[in-house]
Amino acid sequence: MITNEFIEQLKKDNITVNTDECMKNHTSFRIGGNADCYCEVRDTDSLRKTIFLCKKHSVPYFILGSGSNLLVSDKGIDGLVIHLSGEFNEITLAEDNVIRCGAGSTLARLCNFAKNMSLGGLEFAWGIPGSVGGAVYMNAGAYDGEIKDTAIAVDYMDSSGNIKRCRDDELDFSYRHSVFTDTDNIILRASFRLTPRAQDKIYERMQELMERRKEKQPINHPSAGSVFKRPENGYAAALIEECGLKGYEYGGAQVSPKHAGFIVNDNGASAEDVLGLIEHIQKVVKEKKNVELCCEVRFVGRK
């Protein structure tokens, strides 16, 4: 339980902590109630102390990346939301062709760093609006590329505060899944093996993919990207469009008129609105196409 003692101890450990933090400000959907507590953790030692403190006080914790794949409950989040910053934003060239990147860094910074080092392989990720931790957790991917193609090792902290390393095949990557999905382990940093490539070629490819995104996706509207995973033998967006649901509105939530795989919050949508729209889409697509759509977006918080 969150008590004054819990908060005071975090402060004593030099951890910046806020109470009743509005999660709308931390999600790309611009949706969500308050988290009981929110903190920025800047180094490994502070992270361990925070986890231990949570355990001691039976406070649940949630690791927030950039909040670009989340639907946060209107009723908020129980316990402590932890955001990694400080040393978790560091990016270094670890050895020839290997970049090591902290989990708190944005993918955009990592992509730019790789380009500046004339290392190719992460161009696909340019435009995915998340952190490196979130991208590893989700095995983020686009345009025939996935995190799994270049990630060779990931350091993480387990729930007892031990730091461990997962390599290559232990990472258990598959479509929008990694060994970290649905565990308490906290991704600290990841190493990517890349390929030497001319900087202008890398830049060209990044620009080309960004143009495609701008053309096809409602990137200037609050959303969490594709709401549904790709079903077998098809695309969620095509099925939703074929069912006549493009532009369909439910409360303040709408199936994007630009890309039917996205739900946008253009009108002060609540999480309930989005959940209602998701349910409606799933029902109609099941009835008309006999396909079950599963969510890629993760629901977090009080039910």
What amino acid positions are annotated as catalytic residues? 176, 226, 296
Find residue 83's DSSP bridge partners: 40, 64
Of 163 and 198, nearer to ligand FAD (C-beta) is 163
Assess 178 for contact with ligand FAD (CB under 6 A).
no
Of 84 and 99, nearer to ligand FAD (C-beta) is 84
Helices (H) and strands (E) counted in the chain, each on its own, are 7, 18
Instruction: Please tell me the distance from the alpha carbon of residue 115 to that of residue 101, in angstroms, as a whole number.
Output: 14
Of 137 and 250, nearer to ligand FAD (C-beta) is 137
Instruction: Please tell me the distance from the alpha carbon of residue 293 to that of residue 116, in angstroms, as a whole number.
Output: 39
Region 83-112 residues binding ligand FAD, contact defined as CB under 6 A? 84, 103
Assess 223 for contact with ligand FAD (CB under 6 A).
yes
Of 75 and 289, nearer to ligand FAD (C-beta) is 75
Assess 140 for contact with ligand FAD (CB under 6 A).
yes
CB atoms inside a 10 Å sphere around CB 83: 22
Of 9 and 66, nearer to ligand FAD (C-beta) is 66
Binds ligand FAD (CB under 6 A): choice among 76, 134, 261, 301: 134
Cβ atoms of 66 and 27 closer than 8 Å: no
Classify strands 151-157 and 263-265 as parallel, antiparallel or unpaired: unpaired
Binds ligand FAD (CB under 6 A): choice among 34, 44, 50, 66: 66
Instruction: Please tell me the distance from the alpha carbon of residue 9 to that of residue 172, in angstroms, as a whole number.
Output: 37
Residue 150, CB-side half-sphere exposure with 13 Å CA sphere: 30
Instruction: Please tell me the distance from the alpha carbon of residue 201 to that of residue 67, in angstroms, as a whole number.
Output: 31
Q: Write down the least CB distance from residue 134 to ligand FAD, Å.
A: 2
Instruction: Please tell me the distance from the alpha carbon of residue 221 to that of residue 209, in angstroms, as a whole number.
Output: 19
Assess 9 for contact with ligand FAD (CB under 6 A).
no
What is the contact mask toward ligand FAD in residues 236 to 265, using x (rule: CB under 6 A)? ------------------------------
Residue 99, CB-side half-sphere exposure with 13 Å CA sphere: 28
Binds ligand FAD (CB under 6 A): choice among 32, 33, 130, 301: 130
Instruction: Please tell me the distance from the alpha carbon of residue 127 to that of residue 146, in angstroms, as a whole number.
Output: 13
Assess 17 for contact with ligand FAD (CB under 6 A).
no
Q: Write down the least CB distance from residue 186 to ligand FAD, Å.
A: 4
Interface residues with ligand FAD (CB under 6 A) are 28, 62-70, 84, 103, 128-131, 133-135, 137-138, 140-142, 180, 186-187, 217, 219, 223-225, 298
